[in-house]
Amino acid sequence: MNTQRFFIGIIFSILLQAFLLSCEEEKVEPTGNPDDKQYIGKWTGTTNEGLLVSFSIDSINHWTRLSRFIINYYRDTINSHSSGHIDGLAKVENGEFYIDMGHGDMLQGKFTGNNFLTGSIIIDNNIRGFSCTNEKGEQNMNSPSQTKFRFREINYSYRQDQDSVVSRLDEHLTYYNRKYFSSSLMLNRQTHDSVRLIKITKGRLTDIWNEAAFLQYFTPGKRNYSIDARNGIEITIWDVEDNFKKWSTSLGNGNQQGSSFEIVEMQKLENDLKGRIIIKLIAEFDCMMYDYEGNSEKLTDGKFIGFFEQELEK
């Protein structure tokens, strides 16, 4: 009888212990640094070759984590490397993250304040630097290509993204050594390659085009408008509200009295592209726009962040 009670006691103890264990709260993963939460959001910018990058930072399982990234590379084909996971790809610890993607590929980033992210990525044994801003923060030299302006009482805003708006660079030399450089934003699915949303062209007659001359050509300061950018600035827009109708500072009589164009900031992008130099700039402008029928409309509050590049002479 005593033996039976002994075994009943043991069984009861085991069942009680199992019950108590089942009632215990699930262990919680330690939380990350609360200061890292300031980095939550979408970050966009460019590589040091001028190509788009994008990062999504979220709060997942008590940590601030990198949940998705997209990086464009190989400028001729614009290939993309992207990855994402619902549970996050990497923890953000004290403002830094690191991902080993295998096969020698890696990605690392570091935040400075709440509106600056820099880092590097190695893909196919090539290293690329990048810089980004938070999309909710102030747009600056680390932001992707974009423009905004007011035209015909409508506020326009275009921003380079992964799906619809792309940045385009053009450089061409015509007779008598007249050189033109254009930077534009265009629709990714636009069938007619000549149609942009906006194009800014800068031209000058010269026979000196080494690196120093190119950088000097885009130093901050005010610039004059010029018909067909022969010796200055031409701005062209294609109005999406009017079946992509073309307007330009060079059409009509091209009168730009009272207009302004200023390069506010410029920087050279350090990269490994042989024989090419890329600069990024911020410009602000107001101007008169003309159509082929001689109509004119004022464009105001213009701002442009974009790239210009040159293939250096051998």
Tell me which of 71, 103, 134 is where a domain ends: 134
Helix (H) or strand (E) holding 6: helix 2-23
Same domain for 155 and 119: no
Tell me which of 134, 155, 172 is where a domain ends: 134
Pair 167, 185: CB distance under 8 Å:
yes
Rounded to a whole number, what is the distance in angstroms from the first to the last CA of the chain?
104
Same domain for 252 and 174: yes
Same domain for 289 and 151: yes
Question: Is 27 inside a domain boundary?
Answer: no
How many whole angstroms separate alpha carbon 10 and alpha carbon 3? Answer: 11
Q: Using CB atoms within 10 A of its CB, is residue 116 exposed (0-12), middle (13-18) or buried (19+)?
A: middle
Same domain for 163 and 107: no
Same domain for 171 and 57: no
Same domain for 150 and 130: no
Same domain for 94 and 65: yes
The first and second tokens of residue 3, run together, are: 């033996």
Pair 70, 46: CB distance under 8 Å:
no
Instruction: Spell out the per-residue pLDDT of the chain, length 314, in tens.
Output: 555 554 455 555 655 565 555 554 555 567 778 999 999 999 999 998 889 999 999 999 889 999 999 998 776 656 778 888 888 899 999 999 999 988 888 999 999 988 999 999 998 888 889 999 999 888 999 999 999 999 999 999 999 988 788 888 888 877 677 888 999 998 876 555 667 899 999 998 676 678 888 888 999 999 999 999 988 999 999 999 998 999 999 999 889 999 999 999 999 988 777 778 899 999 999 999 999 998 999 999 999 999 998 877 65
Same domain for 100 and 196: no
Question: Is 14 inside a domain boundary?
Answer: no
Question: Is 186 inside a domain boundary?
Answer: yes
Backbone angles phi, psi at 269, to 5 degrees: -90, 120
Same domain for 181 and 307: yes
Same domain for 173 and 83: no
Range of the domain at 263: 146-311
Q: How far is CA 234 from CA 90, 171, 194, 238, 251, in A?
A: 46, 14, 16, 14, 10
**Which pLDDT does position 102 carry in this prediction?**
86
Question: Is 22 inside a domain boundary?
Answer: no
Same domain for 150 and 128: no
CATH of the domain at 110: 2.40.128
Question: Is 265 inside a domain boundary?
Answer: yes
Question: Is 64 inside a domain boundary?
Answer: yes
Same domain for 127 and 193: no
Tally of structural domains, the chain = 2
Tell me which of 111, 134, 157 is where a domain ends: 134
Question: Is 244 inside a domain boundary?
Answer: yes
Question: Is 194 inside a domain boundary?
Answer: yes
